[in-house]
Amino acid sequence: MSCAQTIADYAFRSLGYGERLLPRSDFTLCQQFTLIGSGMIWNVYFGVLALLAGFALATVLALGKASSRAVLRKPAEWFVFLFRGSPLFIQFFFAYFLFQSLSSGYPMLSGLTSAWAGALVVLFFNTSAYSAEIFYGALQSIPKGDTEAADAYGLSGWSRFRRVIWPTMLRLAWPAYTNEAIFLFHATTLVFVSGFPAIQQRGDALYYASYFADKTFNPFVPYPILAGYFIVLTLIVITLFNAINRRLNRHLPSDARRRVKYRPQLVR
């Protein structure tokens, strides 16, 4: 079977299109590249959507946490502590079983027991909590002069937030937020090894990589391929976030701009 044929068969296997049966023997390098790459679609899907939605919730949570009103502060603090203080792996398990028992009572929630929705919700909450902590830290370190200047110009309420507080917060938080984004993409690999099942073997990149590693009993091919894909993904994320960082800091002289520094962490 030629490589083009393999790509045609398996490129969208993770979404359920193409050849139904996974290769069972005589694994070629092309098959491994194609299937693991096909799985990356899920990693990108989870990462991008959770990041976009998480950004909005994180801003709200950070403002809540910085609020002087306990009604707003306490829930935000608890939310952040809950999701930052426990392992994501356990959160996936817990959420899966929680959604399962909920869906027996409320049939409309049954979509949440499948990974595309349920795991996305968990990742969304998780990245919101981590980003909220970063944004909160940035809010705390906004230079006093900036807010005083905003007051002096007669800005208040929404326009003060929109024109001064928020842009400055983003500017300060951006290098750390870039790391959070990378970290989130890495965390998407946990989805299918936790509670969420890969229905009809539609899994993410790690799912297929471990499939090959189990079948061939040779970890030295699929995992480096997976690692390669992730390094490329990481580079793309860094490039995008660097572009945004330049845009955020475009009013500053070039040597005063804070550079995005890649400081990855692991497991959350």
Q: Are 171 and 256 in contact (CB under 8 A)?
A: no
Q: Which amino acid is at 42?
A: W
186 binds other proteins, rule: CB under 8 A: yes
Instruction: Between 168 and 179, name the residue whose CB sits nearer to other proteins.
Output: 179
Q: CA-based angle 254:256:258, to the nearest 5?
A: 95
Instruction: List phi, psi (to 5°) of 260.
Output: -75, 120
Q: Determine the interface stretch with other proteins among 5-13, 139-147, 219-227, 243-251 (rule: CB under 8 A).
A: 219-227
| By the rule CB under 8 A, 215 interacts with other proteins | yes
Residue 139: CA count within 13 A, CB half-sphere: 18
Contact window for other proteins (CB under 8 A) among 98-106, 119-127, 139-147, 169-177 = 98-106
Give me the helix-helix angle, 115-140 and 29-66, nearest 10°.
50
By the 8 A CB rule, do 47 and 236 touch?
Answer: no
> Minimum distance from CB of 215 to other proteins (Å)?
6
90 binds other proteins (CB under 8 A): yes
- Asked if 67 interacts with other proteins (CB under 8 A), we say no
Q: Using the minimum distance from each CB to other proteins, give the nearer residue, 253 or 264.
A: 264
Q: Is the backbone of residue 217 left (phi > 0), alpha (psi -120 to 50) or beta?
A: left
When the beta carbons of 158 and 220 are compared against other proteins, the nearer one is 220
Q: How far is CA 159 from CA 146, 162, 167, in A?
A: 14, 5, 12
Among 51, 206, 248, 260, binds other proteins (CB under 8 A): 206
Closest to other proteins by CB, 87 vs 143, is 87
For residues 243 and 215, give the distance between their C-alpha atoms in angstroms, rounded to a whole number. Answer: 42
CB of 49: closest distance to other proteins in angstroms? 18
Whether residue 178 contacts residue 245, with contact meaning beta carbons closer than 8 Å, is answered with: yes
Cβ pair 5, 30 in contact under 8 A: no
Backbone angles phi, psi at 214, to 5 degrees: -70, -40
Using the minimum distance from each CB to other proteins, give the nearer residue, 17 or 97: 97
Closest distance between other proteins and the C-beta of residue 246, in Å?
Answer: 23
Rounded distance between C-alpha atoms, residue 63 and residue 77, angstroms: 11
Binding mask 99-128 for other proteins (x = CB under 8 A): -xx---------------------------
Residues in the interface with other proteins (CB under 8 A) total 43
Token output for 160? 């003060």
What is the three-class DSSP state of 189? helix
* Alpha-carbon gap, residue 82 to 80, rounded angstroms: 5
Query: What is the per-residue binding string for other proteins in 18-47, x denoting contact by CB under 8 A?
Result: -------x-x--------------------
Smallest separation, CB 213 to other proteins (Å): 6
Q: Establish if 232 lies at the interface with other proteins (CB under 8 A).
A: no
In the complex, the residues that contact other proteins under the rule CB under 8 A are 25, 27, 81-82, 85-91, 93-94, 97-98, 100-101, 186-187, 189-190, 193, 206, 209-210, 213, 215-220, 223, 226-227, 230-231, 234, 264-268
